[in-house]
Amino acid sequence: MVDLHGLELDPLVAAELPPWDDILGHLAARPLPAVAVLRAAAGEGRPVVQPRCGVGGQREMLALLGELEPAGPGILSVTIDSHTRLRRFDTATELLRRRPADLNGYPLVSHGWQRGRELTEAVTVPLEVRHGSPDGRDLFAVALAAGITSYEGGGIGYNLPYSKDVPLARSLRAWQQVDALCGVLATAGVVIDRELFGTLTAVLMPPSISLAVTVLEAVAAAREGVRCLSVAYPQGGELHQDVAALRAVRTLAARYLDPAVEVFPVLHEFMGVFPRTPEYANLLILQGGLLARLGGAAKVVSKTGQEAYGIPDAAANAAGIRAAALGASELLDFVRIDESRVAEEQHWIEREVAELVEPVLAHGELLPAIEAAFAAGRLDIPFSASIHARSQVVPRRDRTGAIRYADRGALPFSRPVLARHAALLREVDGDRPRSLIEAATADIHYFLEKESQSLTRAPYRTRSDTPSRF
């Protein structure tokens, strides 16, 4: 391994990088780093919109960014292919050479930092790398050399939802090195935005699990010197609960982080089973923009009307950006929500997060404490494919659509917290006898049911009935 200010790299990747002074100078000269966009959005009280986007070929990626920028995103994405995410750089390079269209994202390591700079210089807004790697060190180094100022991921959130058998010790320590290099850069005056992926498995995620994971990742990152954190939360579907969770980000940051660390709440629009009709899908995207504004988010990561049918095309992605931006605009300022209900939700979310994270933070060594907590089930993620999470937690929706704990597994919640969840879930099924898993499955398809109830006709009856214009 080659050491780049504490970041251990594959020698072949390290050999292709420019000198550190060149990387540092190029980053310092970026005209609009991501942190500046987030600061402006937070100051104006209106979140910027960011789409997900990434294709294999260089020409195609440049064209995609060029098609999306006129829609007005505040930040654009470079979504990375799955081979690069798993460090299969040779496979990604071979596919890039022979069939780049077969890649499900942009193989930045294979393209190299020079082509990465072509991307950053092709648009006027900053880029963020989104990937899903349990070990994103090599990708991070190439992203820095490319001039990319925002990098998503973390040792928990980019491991347990994506990988079956990557030990937490490995992913946590890989991301510790990434965060430590961000600290080195911050000392030199270059602030990298580190976004934490609170979405996790994106399936019925209780807000306190999402926020507990990001709090622990945030504390770990801040201890290594990170000075800009975007804390992401996934839209669950019940407006008051979602607004409360977003607002809790700032409260929790003030409680657990040094005030010198800038924290920006981020909303990921609904990541679960998406409505099939473009009209209802676009309504959900619009609502996501409104939710982001009501919750005080600095950024909303948008979805598209084609979400139920696979990877969206550029036109749908641009339309998704515009719909989310409209939802986040002053056009909907007349919308009022029950603030007392939001305050009650926020109180209980923050209490649940405290009951999850404070026993872990009480240990002297944070990373071993996180590993031990997941091994014992005191931290857990529902529906995780990883053998390093117990996945004993079973969430349910209550009668309002808010996500509760039907089975808390081994999470160390107090009696009042458990009593509240039990009370809120009581009578949710009425007289219908259903198993916990059957009921949770129905809750996962929550918006499909809403869609059916809202529309007078159902033109697309199955997932295979893709509208012809897609």
pLDDT digits (tens, 9 = 90+) for 315-334: 999 999 999 999 999 999 99
For residues 335-347, give the mean pLDDT. 97
pLDDT above 50 (res 301):
yes
> b/e for 429-454, b at 16 or more Cβ within 10 A?
eeeeeeeeeebbebbbebbbebbeee
For residues 403-424, give the mean pLDDT. 97
User: pLDDT above 70 covers what percent of the chain?
Assistant: 96
14-23, 417-426, 440-449: range with lowest mean pLDDT:
440-449
Q: What is the mean pLDDT of the chain?
A: 94
| Confidence at 432, pLDDT banded by 50, 70, 90 | low
pTM of the entire predicted model: 0.94
For residues 390-407, give the mean pLDDT. 96
| Nearest by Cα to 288 from 41, 38, 37, 51 | 51
Give the C-alpha separation, 321 to 326, whole Å: 9
Q: Is 85 a catalytic residue?
A: yes
pLDDT above 80 (res 82):
yes
Rg (CA), the chain: 21
Strands 403-407 and 127-130 come out as unpaired
Give the C-alpha separation, 67 to 419, whole Å: 51
Cα-Cα-Cα-Cα dihedral of 266, 394, 155, 35, to 10°? 0
pLDDT of residue 464: 42
pLDDT above 70 (res 431):
no
* Active-site residue identified among 128, 130, 152, 350: 152
Indicate the SS3 state at residue 283.
helix
| Confidence at 310, pLDDT banded by 50, 70, 90 | confident
pLDDT above 50 (res 143):
yes
Give the C-alpha separation, 306 to 470, whole Å: 7
- Is 105 in contact with 82 (CB distance < 8 Å)? yes
For residues 248-252, give the mean pLDDT. 98
Q: Is 152 a catalytic residue?
A: yes
Q: What angle do CA 184, 119, 22 make, to 5 degrees?
A: 35
Q: How far is CA 364 from the centre of its chain?
A: 28
Q: What is the pLDDT of residues 159-210, one digit of tens each?
A: 999 999 999 999 999 999 999 999 999 999 999 999 999 999 998 999 999 9
DSSP state of 130: E
Q: Which two tokens stand for residue 314?
A: 């550029």
pLDDT above 90 (res 435):
no
Give the C-alpha separation, 350 to 240, whole Å: 14
Beta bridge partners of 264: 230
